[in-house]
Amino acid sequence: MTEHRYPHAKVHFGVFVQGVNHTTIWSDKDSGSQIDFATFREIAQTAERGLFDAFFLGEGLRLREQRGQIHELDIAGRPDAITELAALAAITSRVGLVATQNCTYNEPADLARRLSGLDLLSDGRAGWNAVTTDNAWTGENFRRGGYLDHQFRYDRARQFVQLAKQIWSGWTEDGGKEVEFRSSQFDVRLVPSLPPSPQGRPVIFQAGDSSAGRDFAAAEADVIFSAHGSDHADALAFADDIRGRLRSFGRPEEDIRILPATQVVLAERESEVAEKFDWVTRGQVTGQTALAMVSQVWGKDLSHLDPDGPLPSEDPVIAETSQTMGSGQGGRDPLAVAAGWRALAEEKGGLSIRELIVETATQRRTGFVGTAAQVADRMAHFVRSGACHGFNISPYIVPGGLDEIVDWLVPALQERGVYRTAYEGTTLREHLGLRPV
């Protein structure tokens, strides 16, 4: 086991409400509406009861598509994130409120002012998950249309964040000072119209995992929302890479908090763990979901197939597709994936389409599965070895899925001295232990 480099570190939690997707058991009778405010109120108040750092809201600017068609298994119609979080600010007092907002299609002066307004209304609890978008269908919502190549997305994002920071720091006691910013993406001159909140400015989250995304985070972000939180060696390698990049940008190694996305499945007794995990996995993979995932690999609509039947006998379509137009292949070789799935289905005695997708999900086993004591021990090891600072949890049931985390896991962590027993500050920056700005 890796030596604990940070023996006094505490686990930080956020809750990530990403919408309907194949990790949420959206068909369960206890799954709430993604439009009804009561859903978001319950999650945010449960997170605050559990002393979470933040409530983290995902958002899209357009309905998700695949191969030019609306993806029917995704959220439709969720209210604007900043509007939602402003309403939650009125009924919470400590938990941070993080809005996902796009750098590719927003404009800095407008977004900086709206985020600053949320920060003021919440007394310094706002955060901004600064994302970019490469899909062309989102661009069709905007006058310039299209999309930016990967390199230019991060050029724009970095300039966007730099300009926002200048706007937020541009207020003086006798009013704002003029901010002038000229770059390859922006030509802006303005006077800030809002004073800073108690935390100075919104906390900046970033989730890009490419080399350019990691550099962007190391240069500008306060928190990284990573995908490296299941395998300890992988998480530690990612964290060490970020620490190295921070040094190269002249920042202290501990200037960023790393909160990987994760799912937690808890059972009260060890003998119940496997059954609970199987129930969650099978709830996540409906027949419709299984067909959609196979369709992504085969490159064509397979919704007419029986999910309890075998994989298609024909090979996948090899077509020129890209994620900009909603391909779900993610760079994988479809022929290789299909061959691997066929071999796995045969090895396991002739798995159906749905059984195969359940099996692959079980093999991946992302996140944390076990009793509260088992998960608490593993999370403590992650944090105290320097692999991350905590976790951004996606409940498998919304809104009630967070209750087990708060009622079972949080006390187990507190017993081990690796989780706060009360909020020690009032702002999101204080919760995260970030230095003042």
Q: What's the average model confidence in pLDDT over 238-253?
A: 97
Cα–Cα distance measured from residue 410 to residue 46, given in angstroms and rounded to the nearest whole number:
12
Say whether both 138 and 248 belong to one domain: yes
Say whether both 63 and 134 belong to one domain: yes
Cα–Cα distance measured from residue 128 to residue 131, given in angstroms and rounded to the nearest whole number:
9
- In a domain, residue 412? The reply is yes
The CB density around residue 257, as the number of other CB atoms within 10 Å, is 22
Say whether both 243 and 302 belong to one domain: no
- In a domain, residue 217? The reply is yes
103: phi then psi, degrees, rounded to nearest 5: -85, -20
Model confidence at 59: pLDDT above 50: yes
Compute CA 405 distance to the chain's CA centroid, rounded to the nearest angstrom: 18
Using a pLDDT cut of 70, give the percent of the chain over it.
87
pLDDT digits over 358-376, tens only? 998 776 667 899 999 999 9
- In a domain, residue 2? The reply is no
- In a domain, residue 1? The reply is no
Q: Is 183 annotated as a binding residue?
A: no
Model confidence at 16: pLDDT above 90: yes
The domain boundary residue, chosen from 348, 364, 380: 364
The range of the structural domain enclosing residue 59 comes to 12-263+368-432
Do 78 and 34 contact (CB within 8 A), yes or no? yes
Report DSSP letters for 177-221, one per residue: PPEEEE-SS-EEEE---S---TTSSPEEEE---SHHHHHHHHHH-
- In a domain, residue 134? The reply is yes
Q: Is 396 annotated as a binding residue?
A: no
Say whether both 182 and 165 belong to one domain: yes
Cα–Cα distance measured from residue 166 to residue 163, given in angstroms and rounded to the nearest whole number:
5
Report DSSP letters for 321-335, one per residue: --GGGT-SSTT--HH
Q: Is 154 annotated as a binding residue?
A: yes
Compute CA 238 distance to the chain's CA centroid, rounded to the nearest angstrom: 16
109 three-class SS: helix
Mean pLDDT of the chain, nearest integer = 89
- pLDDT at 325 (0 to 100): 40
Say whether both 55 and 84 belong to one domain: yes
The domain boundary residue, chosen from 316, 331, 364: 364
Do 371 and 268 contact (CB within 8 A), yes or no? yes
Model confidence at 222: pLDDT above 80: yes
pLDDT digits over 66-104, tens only? 656 665 665 556 788 999 999 999 999 999 999 999 998
Say whether both 53 and 180 belong to one domain: yes
- In a domain, residue 409? The reply is yes
Say whether both 179 and 254 belong to one domain: yes
- In a domain, residue 5? The reply is no
Q: Is 193 annotated as a binding residue?
A: no
The amino acid sitting at 241 is D
Say whether both 148 and 198 belong to one domain: yes
Cα–Cα distance measured from residue 14 to residue 346, given in angstroms and rounded to the nearest whole number:
41
The domain boundary residue, chosen from 364, 384, 414: 364
Cα–Cα distance measured from residue 430 to residue 95, given in angstroms and rounded to the nearest whole number:
11
Say whether both 296 and 380 belong to one domain: no
Cα–Cα distance measured from residue 305 to residue 293, given in angstroms and rounded to the nearest whole number:
13
- In a domain, residue 437? The reply is no
Say whether both 313 and 383 belong to one domain: no
Do 25 and 280 contact (CB within 8 A), yes or no? yes
Residue that the structure tokens 């998700």 belong to? 64
- pLDDT at 70 (0 to 100): 61
pLDDT digits over 338-354, tens only? 999 999 999 999 999 99
For 407, half-sphere exposure in the C-beta direction (CA atoms, 13 angstrom radius) is 9
- pLDDT at 322 (0 to 100): 47
Q: How many domains does the chain have?
A: 2
Q: What's the average model confidence in pLDDT over 325-350?
A: 80
Instruction: Cis check for the bond before 399: say yes or no (omega within 30 of 0).
Output: yes
- Max avg pLDDT among 69-73, 189-193, 327-331: 189-193
Length of the chain, please?
A: 437
pLDDT digits over 277-320, tens only? 999 989 988 888 899 889 889 988 898 999 999 999 999 987 65
Say whether both 399 and 358 belong to one domain: no
Q: What's the average model confidence in pLDDT over 401-413?
A: 97
Query: Residue 255 belongs to a domain with what CATH number?
Result: 3.20.20.30
Say whether both 297 and 334 belong to one domain: yes
Cα–Cα distance measured from residue 22 to residue 426, given in angstroms and rounded to the nearest whole number:
35
Which residues is 187 bridged to in the sheet?
A: 182
